[in-house]
Structure 1
Amino acid sequence: MNMRKNNLSSLQMTKKVNDKYKRTKRVQFANGSTLDIDLLFRPSKRDDLIADLLNLVKFAFENNKKFDASIGIALSTALIIKYFTSLETDAESYDDMLNLIVALKDGEYLQDIITSFVQDELEKIFGDLKRAINLVHEEVTKSNIATETGGAEK
């Protein structure tokens, strides 16, 4: 294979990406336990997190579960902690995620974790999550209007 000078290679790209996103910050809690926090949020993980949140929103609406701004923030926060820390958890479902937030708050871990993230990264991910939820809301509104209009014409 003919290699051109300074040509990007997948191996080189993978190494640079991994180097960029592997940096963490260690948080030590009063009880001596620790948690590693990602300093930068890998875009592919951000996309996976958004997809998971949208699935949780869909589940909530399909199953008549409570969903308001506070639930949205709680689910988003739980997913951010799940995706961008070393926390070992098997939380997957709507109820699991809410229980995770309650456990972290009651255990007095939540505030330390949240304040350990890089503020710019939190702002970016919450902006992405807000845009995704707004797009879903627009589509649901369009669908409801189309259904109402179609129903009225018959």
Structure 2
Amino acid sequence: MAKAQNLSMTHAKKEDTKKYKDKKQVLFHDGTKLDIDVVFRPSKKQELGVDLLKLIREKIEKLENVDGNLLTDVLTSLIVKHFTSIQVKGLESFDDHLEMYKILQDNDYLSPILQAFDPIELQTTIENTIEEANKQMNKISDDLDRILESQMESRSELNEETV
């Protein structure tokens, strides 16, 4: 039986390269191309979730409503941003991501990109990201409820003292 070697960063990097180096190229009607990740890195999936929550929080802080369709469009934009070679600058806000989605869709880029992803990889990433976002939104909602309750109790105590 061969003796196991101690793990080194060199070995870990080699394994990382083997697992995540594969890209698929999408060629578009206008002669442009885009490389997409065949396997999604867990760290990129995590960044995707963090970015989605940040964008949702932005809308909540502005007291703006976010429906499911808009959220799906922004999530799709984030997936393209994180798992392709698309070059984006100034893509910071919810509305920026919504604009990116619309431009890609209106100019027939989005469908070929989404079709090029591994369907299982894409579906599980979407499901897991939405599930985690829902958990975080429930926590935020619970925190807001507690804050409101606390404020109501404080007002009630103040009213009782002044009576």
Q: Could you tell me the TM-score, scaled by structure 1's length?
A: 0.89
Letter in 1 for 2:31: G
CA distance in structure 1 between the aligned counterparts of 2:65 and 2:14, rounded to whole angstroms: 43
CA distance in structure 2 between the aligned counterparts of 1:145 and 1:59, rounded to whole angstroms: 19
What pairs with 1:68-107 in structure 2 (closer than 5 Å)?
Answer: 68-90=67-89, 91-107=91-107
CA distance in structure 1 between the aligned counterparts of 2:65 and 2:23, rounded to whole angstroms: 35
Alignment-derived partner of residue 150 in structure 2: 150
Cα displacement string for residues 17-38 of structure 1 (whole angstroms, at most 9, x for unaligned residues): 1221110111111122111110
Matched residue SS, 2:25: strand
C-alpha contact 2:52 2:75 (8 A) present in aligned 1: yes
What pairs with 1:1-154 in structure 2 (closer than 5 Å)?
Answer: 5-90=4-89, 91-153=91-153, 154=156
**What is the aligned residue count?**
151
Q: Which entry has the higher C-alpha Rg, 1 or 2? A: 2
**Is the deviation greater in 141-150 or in 87-96?**
141-150
1:151: how far off? 4.1
Q: Which runs of 5+ in 1 are unaligned?
A: none
1:47: how far off? 0.9
Matched residue SS, 1:6: coil
Q: Could you tell me the TM-score, scaled by structure 2's length?
A: 0.85
CA distance in structure 2 between the aligned counterparts of 1:55 and 1:35, rounded to whole angstroms: 26
**Is the deviation greater in 132-141 or in 22-31?**
132-141
Q: 1:61 to 1:41 in 2, by over 3 A?
A: same
Letter in 2 for 1:118: D
Query: How large is the Cα RMSD of the aligned pairs?
Result: 1.6
Cα displacement string for residues 73-92 of structure 1 (whole angstroms, at most 9, x for unaligned residues): 11111011001011111122
CA distance in structure 2 between the aligned counterparts of 1:21 and 1:96, rounded to whole angstroms: 28
Letter in 1 for 2:53: L
